[in-house]
Structure 1
Amino acid sequence: MDRDIFFAALKRFDVNMPKGAIECLDKFAEAILRQNQRLHLVSSGDTRLLWSRHFLDSLAPLITGVIRPPAHILDIGPGAGLPAIPIAIFEPDISITMAESSTKKTRFIERTIRELALDNTRIFGCQFEQIEDKFDYCTIRAVFSDDSKLAEISKKLRPKGSAVFFKSVKSPEALPSQELIREHGFSEVEVFKLDKEFFAGRTLVVFHKP
């Protein structure tokens, strides 16, 4: 059922499936399930929803056109490697740098990258503020308790870059004021409401730099 929903969504949104993509996702799912109890990569209730919730959600920026290749992405706090690894699998013209502060999760992602032979992805075991490069996009699935990180995220983006926040129905924080958006280095914010049938009310909140 979980995989069926994923494949139905790919068909609905006419997503191109690169050769070997499903085999890679199968291996990725197996790795998460093997290590989840020890590393807490996803919540225990989500282990049966890896494809329909985590993998499909990860592809939402590609499905909506929020992220367009070629591009360089900084994925902040990927945990299990989400959304970075599914994006890297489905779009080889996107290069992704991950910043993960957990040493154990960093090692898990390093092993996964090697096992899947992903040459467009790399992982650093550090806070994202320590990454020195500039990026076209930042992706953030982690929940920030306030807006204090926005200014730091803005510093990691090139001109015209965008920060893409994944929001669930459980984390519908109010958007910052326009004044605060500008203060943090952005020019505007867009909210993309994802298809209810496949994404259950989840949204992408996208902050754009001038």
Structure 2
Amino acid sequence: MILADEAAARDWFRSLPEWSDAVQSRLDGLTALLAAENEVQNLVSESSLQALWVRHYADSAQLLAHVPRETGSPWLDLGSGAGFPGLVIAILRPECEVVMVESRARRINWLQRVCDSLGLTNAKVASMRVEALETRQFRAISARAFAPLPKLLDLSARFSTSDTVWLLPKGRSARQELLELKGWNHLFHVEQSLTDADSGVIVGTLEGRKGKKP
């Protein structure tokens, strides 16, 4: 199934177990905030602003299908930028701690203002580069357009255990990046994106570097 338009995306959201009036209200609030902020800084492209429910909201929310509620906290979102998928995950799963890592000052300010405005007390903004983030273990790790797969793993494998679920929307490069990945023991595979017939999401778990003793 590919979500072809905004109406299809909204219908799909209403079918989610996480859906509620509070989710609807917060996503509508995020839409208004994003439209206003996009006049000040280029958070998302103008074309995607007209297709938020498909391009950003559903593209983020589809990751939840791979992370059961009981195993999804804490959640680490690397290079959150405009807030996808981190903000959407925090809205849909208010019981889940979501840590959004972002180093750019204007994006940091944006993310914090959204959290404050929407009352997302479960969402935390880590205002730093990934390299500076204190090591701790997370149950889920996501990264959207953050870095090529080898670099991403080099930077963030220390936050993972063998049970951590990795969720990496990679667009059209997903299969090629996974095919070319060397030096890691992993159980990654590519899932078809719900928002783009040509895009994939790398999903799975990471055991560690090849040749490294436990």
Q: If the TM-score is normalised by the length of the shorter chain, which range does it land in?
A: 0.7 to 0.9
Deviations 1:4-53 (A, max 9, x none): 22222225x54431231111111111111111132211112211011111
> Match for 1:139 among 142, 146, 166?
142
* 1:105 aligned partner: 107
Query: Do the aligned partners of 2:77 and 2:99 also contact (CA within 8 Å) in 1?
Result: yes
Shift in CA distance, 105/139, structure 1 to aligned 2, threshold 3 Å: same
* 2:31 aligned partner: 29
Which amino acid in structure 1 is aligned with residue 170 of structure 2? K
Which amino acid in structure 2 is aligned with residue 202 of structure 1? S
Q: Which has the higher contact order (CA 8 A, sep 6+)?
A: 2
Deviations 1:45-74 (A, max 9, x none): 211011111001110111xx2122232111
Query: Do the aligned partners of 1:192 and 1:203 also contact (CA within 8 Å) in 2?
Result: yes
1:146, distance to aligned residue in structure 2 (A)? 5.6
CA distance in 1: counterparts of 2:149 and 2:6, whole angstroms:
35
Q: What is the percentage of aligned positions where both structures have the same residue?
A: 21
CA distance in 2: counterparts of 1:28 and 1:80, whole angstroms:
11
> Match for 2:199 among 189, 194, 202?
202
CA distance in 1: counterparts of 2:106 and 2:61, whole angstroms:
25
Deviations 1:117-157 (A, max 9, x none): 01111001111222212211110002424612312211111
Which amino acid in structure 1 is aligned with residue 189 of structure 2? E
* 1:191 aligned partner: 190
CA distance in 1: counterparts of 2:60 and 2:81, whole angstroms:
13
* 1:87 aligned partner: 89
Shift in CA distance, 9/179, structure 1 to aligned 2, threshold 3 Å: same
Calculate the TM-score normalised by the size of structure 1. Answer: 0.85
Query: Do the aligned partners of 1:178 and 1:188 also contact (CA within 8 Å) in 2?
Result: no
* 1:150 aligned partner: 153
> Match for 1:165 among 165, 168, 187?
168
CA distance in 2: counterparts of 1:59 and 1:158, whole angstroms:
23
How many residues align structurally? Answer: 201
Calculate the aligned-residue CA RMSD, in Å.
2.2
Which amino acid in structure 2 is aligned with residue 16 of structure 1? E
Q: Which moved more, 1:104-113 or 1:125-134?
A: 125-134
Calculate the TM-score normalised by the size of structure 2. Answer: 0.84
